[in-house]
């Protein structure tokens, strides 16, 4: 008989990272693992779905880091198409429903890993039983869209509702598939929760240049259907024809199951954990990924930032700890990057709105520069914006928009934010230089110099 039984709820990044770490540390002789997953895939890249649909990634299998069969060979009992519907904390037991064969199963646990991910925001008007309406949350969602596009070649009009990460990425994917695409966004510019309005305006202009129609400050009130198929997106100013509708309205932590079991849920809607990813107030329940709230290193406030990078790190920390080791997850600063056609968009730290909400006084600086030496072939323009605390000059946030080789510069800026560097300290950073890779003054250094001038002027 094995010493410890671990039950995992959710078979993607956080859950299976935790299971794999625990298995590595305790070994198959001591640890029994049962993982419940309501979908058909495990350990996959949801972030890669738009690139698979758009054709940049050729095969579905490329998005799967580890298949259910591979996990089973490693000694993890993966049960697909099983949805956990209740957690009995006192009796250390979960109740799962078999979504294919019917019936229910009860499974005891010594340790429980809660990794249920996030649920898409779906307004009432979007809940219509019509073909051609899709969310993009799981790999099952992605396969449904791919099958629809492959099976409906004559249907050529797409409407994407929501201009966040998944919305702009899916707009590009559908454009590459040859559809006429309209992107609807309720704010004044796309990616309004990601970048400041001035940067968002640059994003909107670039998207429009690629041939995507962008409608901002758009309010959707319904979806019209005919013979069980979506045909129009209804707005107060008129209806838009639509053969396919993709919903990109954001996500929320999938914490209902935890809340129903009496586990603590924070103000963001995410499950509350300590730095070791143990659910607050428990000794044997752990949580990680899009379903939890994290600590923001700059503001100190709880946040929910659903990204695969966080999910994998948090899952690893939880797995180490539940297996008797010690690790912590320090927090997040909101670093993210995306691509829309030829445009790259990245951010780290705080936007102006977020800095204001957190009570910071700050200055900003924006510069335009090139990705390479101006005389070297292929140099492209980019804009870098920095936000620095007014008194100290500490870097609070950064945003980048540009073409090839622009966005990954956000990583250097993320390191600066993480380590509380001032923009004046950044002006002396020893960044690499060669004409094929950067101008002699890298755009990061130019932006830091301009931000330093702004800090001094504000003193």
pLDDT tens per residue, range 80-128: 999 999 999 999 999 999 999 999 999 999 999 999 999 999 999 999 8
pLDDT value at residue 152: 79
> Measuring CA to CA, how many Å separate 416 from each of 352, 424, 427, 450?
18, 11, 11, 16
pLDDT value at residue 340: 85
Spatial distance between the Cα atoms of 355 and 334, rounded to a whole number of angstroms: 13
pLDDT value at residue 130: 87
Question: What does the pLDDT average to over 220-237?
Answer: 94
Arithmetic mean of pLDDT over the chain: 95
Domains 4-47+60-118+252-322 and 342-457 share a fold: yes
Q: What is the pLDDT of residues 364-417, one digit of tens each?
A: 999 999 999 989 999 999 999 999 999 999 999 999 999 888 899 999 999 999
pLDDT value at residue 6: 98
Whether 341 is a known active-site residue: answer no
pLDDT value at residue 213: 96
Of the candidates 161, 139, 317, the one whose C-alpha atom is nearest the C-alpha of residue 245 is: 161
Question: What does the pLDDT average to over 239-253?
Answer: 95
Give the side-chain half-sphere CA count within 13 A for 106.
6
pLDDT value at residue 103: 94
Cβ-proximal residues to 272 (8 Å cutoff; 6+ apart), any chain = 264, 265, 266, 279, 280, 292, 293, 302
pLDDT band at 64 (very low <50, low <70, confident <90, very high): very high
Spatial distance between the Cα atoms of 263 and 279, rounded to a whole number of angstroms: 7
Spatial distance between the Cα atoms of 67 and 73, rounded to a whole number of angstroms: 10
Spatial distance between the Cα atoms of 425 and 392, rounded to a whole number of angstroms: 11
Q: Which of 25, 40, 47, 110 is catalytic?
A: 47
% the chain with pLDDT above 70: 100
Listed by start position, the domains of the chain span: 4-47+60-118+252-322, 122-249, 342-457
pLDDT value at residue 33: 97
For domain 342-457, the CATH superfamily is FAD/NAD(P)-binding domain (3.50.50.60)
DSSP string covering 111-157: EEEE---EEE---GGG----BTEEE-SSHHHHHHHHHHHHH-TT--E
Spatial distance between the Cα atoms of 417 and 404, rounded to a whole number of angstroms: 23
pLDDT value at residue 30: 92
pLDDT band at 3 (very low <50, low <70, confident <90, very high): confident
pLDDT band at 294 (very low <50, low <70, confident <90, very high): very high
Whether the predicted pLDDT of 185 surpasses 90: yes
Structure tokens at 385: 């914006």
**CATH second-level architecture of 122-249?**
3-Layer(bba) Sandwich (3.50)
Q: Is domain 4-47+60-118+252-322 given the CATH code 3.10.350.10 in the classification?
A: no
pLDDT value at residue 1: 57
Spatial distance between the Cα atoms of 252 and 334, rounded to a whole number of angstroms: 16
Spatial distance between the Cα atoms of 369 and 380, rounded to a whole number of angstroms: 8
Question: What does the pLDDT average to over 280-305?
Answer: 97
């Amino acid at each position: 008989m094995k010493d410890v039984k671990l039950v995992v709820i959710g078979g993607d990044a956080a859950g299976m990272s935790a299971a794999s770490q625990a298995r590595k540390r305790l070994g198959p002789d001591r640890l029994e693992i049962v993982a419940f997953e309501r979908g058909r895939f495990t350990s996959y890249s949801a972030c890669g779905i738009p690139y698979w649909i758009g054709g940049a990634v050729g095969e579905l299998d490329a998005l799967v880091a580890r298949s259910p069969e591979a996990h089973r060979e490693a000694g993890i009992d993966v049960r697909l198409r099983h949805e956990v519907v209740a957690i009995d904390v006192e009796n250390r037991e979960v109740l799962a429903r078999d979504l294919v064969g019917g019936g229910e199963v009860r499974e005891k646990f010594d340790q429980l890993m809660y990794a249920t991910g996030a649920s898409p925001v779906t307004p009432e008007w979007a809940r219509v039983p019509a073909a051609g309406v899709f969310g993009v949350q799981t790999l099952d969602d992605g396969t449904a869209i791919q099958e629809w596009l492959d099976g409906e070649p004559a249907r050529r009009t797409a409407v994407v509702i929501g201009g966040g990460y998944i919305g702009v990425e899916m707009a590009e994917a559908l454009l590459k598939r040859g559809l006429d695409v309209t992107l609807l966004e309720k704010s004044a510019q796309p990616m309004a929760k990601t970048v400041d309005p001035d940067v968002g305006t640059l994003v909107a202009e670039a998207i429009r240049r690629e041939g995507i129609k962008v409608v901002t400050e758009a309010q959707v009130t319904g979806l019209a259907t005919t013979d069980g198929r979506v045909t129009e997106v209804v707005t107060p100013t008129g209806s838009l024809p639509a053969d396919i509708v993709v919903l990109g309205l954001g996500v929320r932590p999938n914490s209902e199951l935890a809340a129903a079991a009496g586990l603590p849920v924070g103000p963001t809607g995410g499950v509350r954990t300590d730095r070791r990813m143990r659910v607050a107030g428990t000794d044997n329940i752990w949580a990680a990924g899009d379903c939890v709230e994290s600590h923001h290193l700059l503001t100190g406030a709880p946040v929910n930032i659903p990204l695969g990078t966080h999910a994998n790190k948090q899952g690893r920390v939880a797995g180490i700890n539940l297996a008797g080791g010690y690790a912590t997850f320090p927090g997040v600063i909101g670093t993210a990057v995306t691509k829309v056609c030829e445009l790259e968009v990245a951010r780290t730290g705080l936007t102006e709105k977020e800095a204001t909400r957190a009570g910071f006084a700050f200055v900003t600086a924006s510069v335009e520069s090139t990705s390479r030496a101006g005389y070297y072939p292929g140099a492209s323009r980019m804009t870098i914006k920095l936000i620095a605390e007014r008194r100290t000059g500490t870097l609070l946030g950064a945003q980048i928009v540009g073409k090839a080789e622009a966005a990954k510069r956000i990583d250097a800026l993320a390191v600066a934010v993480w380590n509380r560097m001032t923009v004046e300290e950044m002006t002396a950073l020893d960044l690499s230089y060669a004409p094929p890779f950067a101008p002699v003054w890298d755009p990061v250094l130019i932006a830091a110099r301009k931000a330093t001038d702004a800090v001094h002027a504000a003193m």
